[in-house]
Amino acid sequence: MKIQTVSVFVDDQQRALEFYTEKLGFTVAADVPMGEFRWLTVVDPASRNGTQLSLEPKGHPAVSPFTDALLEDGIPFFVLGVDDVPAEYERLQGLGVEFTQAPIDHGPVVTAVFSDTVGNLLQLAAYKG
């Protein structure tokens, strides 16, 4: 058994697609029209058969209160693993990505937090060791 797809709730699927592909470097795994929305997933280009991230519209009434509370409290929706947080921070800043937390060394892990522009904070993390 493996994790196949995980959803992140987004304000705008097209803007999310552009951010996740152009800024973060993911590639499209699925883009299927489904009425006014799409079944839209992205994946790590180095692992095309890996876990997909579904860019899910915030249509359900429970989603906005949940994601708004996370955003207001500064809590990232999920964590992206990278080899070097400061280097990725510099690269993403150069692409105009807005960070709410610059890299912090917590001992065994270095983290940074940024906005995905479609209603979520995401965290970069690199574990030492």
Listed in sequence order, the residues at least 6 apart from 25 whose beta carbon sits closer than 8 Å to its beta carbon are: 45
**pLDDT level of residue 79 (50, 70, 90 thresholds):** very high
Percent over 70 (pLDDT), the chain: 100
**Got the DSSP string for 58-85?**
--STTHHHHHHHHHHHT--SEEEE-S-H
Mean pLDDT of 31-47: 96
What are the pLDDT digits (tens) for 61-73?
Answer: 999 999 999 999 9
Question: What per-residue confidence (pLDDT) applies to 12?
Answer: 97
Q: Which two tokens stand for residue 86?
A: 């400061």
Q: What is the pTM assigned to this prediction?
A: 0.95
The torsion of the CA quartet 58, 61, 62, 65, rounded to 10 degrees, works out to: 80
Q: Over 90: is that where the pLDDT of 129 sits?
A: no
121: β partners: 115
Mean pLDDT of 63-86: 97
Q: Which two tokens stand for residue 58?
A: 């915030």
Structure-token match 């079944």, residue found: 39
Nearest of 19, 128, 43, 48 to residue 84 by alpha carbon: 128
